[in-house]
Chain A
């Protein structure tokens, strides 16, 4: 158990809908990362937050947005969902969000868009 929690574990929804994925980092970690894992794209970095502020952006679509709250939990919002958004979404956390940090991954949220 990494100490990172993600809810829900599974999510099934329809095209065009909007969903919110939630992540609670390990106690003491200030940085949160979001990743998408799909069969065709592999594991892709989406976005990183540190203590409430966006720090780095990867291949995140404009239909997707995220934020980190004062209690350090984070939410990833996916809107206007398409079939291709079906994937495993991982959250990870680290102490300070630097290049040398170890990232601890949550178990993931499996999103299925029908």
Chain B
């Protein structure tokens, strides 16, 4: 069965420090992978997505993610975190046919001054 695991429930980083949020997926075929961000009281916003091609994907707000098939991972990175990045981040996999998106449990990011 398809699944998405985000091992870290929450992460705290200092402003200006680098960030990596982990995501592992389980899916038989080549997955469609997404990262979304949810700010408090808001809906989800797409940061980036991967379908094929270059395994390093650039997104909005300075985020990038790298698809590693051998590790079944799609980790999200940002070189320098800003206080406004504090939010909850969701990794998701889009399954084939009819688009059933499976979301991970989310990682809440705290940014300290």
Contact = CB atoms under 8 A, between A and B. Distances in A.
Interface of A: 2, 4, 33, 42-45, 48, 55-56, 58, 90, 92, 97-108
Contact of B102 (A45, A92, A98, A102): A45
B43 A43 contact: no
Contact of B49 (A4, A102, A107): A102
Given A2-B45, A105-B45, A107-B43, A43 B99 contact: no
Number of contact residues on B: which range applies? 20 to 34
Given A99-B94, A100-B51, A107-B42, A42 B100 contact: no
Contacts of B104: 42
Given A45-B102, A92-B43, A99-B96, 15 more contacts: A42-B106, A43-B106, A44-B103, A45-B100, A48-B98, A55-B98, A56-B97, A56-B98, A58-B100, A98-B99, A99-B51, A99-B94, A105-B36, A105-B43, A107-B41
B99 A108 contact: no
A48 B42 contact: no
Interface in B87-113: 90, 94-106
Interface of B: 32, 36, 41-46, 49, 51, 90, 94-106
Contacts, number: 60
Nearest to A96: B99
B40 to A, nearest CB: 12
A32 B93 CA distance: 18
Contacts of A2: 43, 45
A103 B44 CA distance: 9
B5 to A, nearest CB: 12
